[in-house]
Amino acid sequence: MSIRSKLAELSARGEKAVGLFLTCGFPSQDETSAILDTLAETGVDFLELGMPFSDPLAEGITIQRSSEIALRNGVTLRDVLDTVTRFKSRHDLPLLLIVVYTVVTTLVWGRVFCGFLCPFGALQDVIDRVVPRRFKRPLPQGLHDRASYVKYGVLAVIVIPALAGSHVSLYQYFEPFGTVFFRSPSLLLWAIAGAFLAASVVIPRFYCRYACPLGAALGIVSLISLKRIDRVEQCGHCKVCEQKCPTGAIRGATVDFKECVRCNVCEIELIERTGVCRHDMEYVRARLVQLEVGAGVGVTDG
């Protein structure tokens, strides 16, 4: 039975729906299945099964902690899907798989989660503000462009084995959030997280740019996002936003939206007219003509 059919049935009888939420893998994978069965047999109208992930800040402290425990239990995407399959084979009860908030915001605005909600991204931003500019060494453009695809390879390394049925969780090795904010006892995980933070001293948002599998997944979804960043004709002649972009997503007037974390830096620069956009295009075109003529004269006289 679908959730729509169940709600229609209850509405026809003038009854309210009772729905309960459970994080898959909490307190353990086996106990999740047992709890779901028990709830289904006690008259619950629908169940929400939360897919555990490392940064559920918008969900509140209870779901944060349950997700942390589930991930420590090694719960994978395959485990979640297997749990759903087993449950639906035994019960005709609506079961919602909850991954809504992050997916919806990404479909509408792009990687809003990365720019405003991810605490590890915020930690990297703090490092960027504290570290003097003289210590920063951004990668050459060509190398940056190639390295930005590494995180998509990391995503594949995590997702493909999970879909193939592997129960070995690799996500913890590529997601330093749980290590830093939930104080992991693993020295290996701390070494990995420390390496990402050290790299962020030299290259702003290093982890977001080159290694984050969640950012890669959201980047793929953001390719079809509805709300894009406005650009103007002046952007083609200006480098202000390009130089200030924390993830290197801007090339002149073009924004590589899958790499953009919607930090709003470029939008603020445009609103405040801090670059070439503070001039009308008639003035800009006239200046460009003068520069081209001057360069031509310089070459001829030389």
Domain annotation covers residue 297? no
Which pTM value belongs to this model?
A: 0.69
pLDDT value of position 153:
95
Kindly report, residue by residue over 111-153, the tens digit of the pLDDT.
988 888 888 899 999 999 999 988 988 889 899 999 999 999 9
φ, ψ at 254 (rounded to 5°)? -105, 135
The C-alpha R_g of the chain, in whole angstroms, comes to: 24
Q: Indicate whether 72 and 188 sit together in one domain.
A: no
Domain annotation covers residue 170? yes
Q: Any idea of the CA torsion for 164, 167, 173, 175, to the nearest 10 degrees? A: 80
Average pLDDT by consecutive 10-residue portion of the chain (302 residues)? 80 88 89 90 86 64 81 80 86 72 85 87 92 89 92 90 73 82 84 95 94 93 90 85 88 89 86 83 74 53 42
pLDDT value of position 301:
43
Domain annotation covers residue 288? no
Q: Indicate whether 85 and 120 sit together in one domain.
A: no
Q: Indicate whether 123 and 178 sit together in one domain.
A: yes
Closest to 204 in 3D by CA, of 216, 196, 212: 196
Domain annotation covers residue 291? no
Q: Indicate whether 189 and 56 sit together in one domain.
A: no
Domain annotation covers residue 300? no
Q: Indicate whether 81 and 109 sit together in one domain.
A: no
Instruction: Provide the number of structural domains found in the chain.
Output: 2
Domain annotation covers residue 79? yes
Q: What domain range is 247 assigned to?
A: 103-278
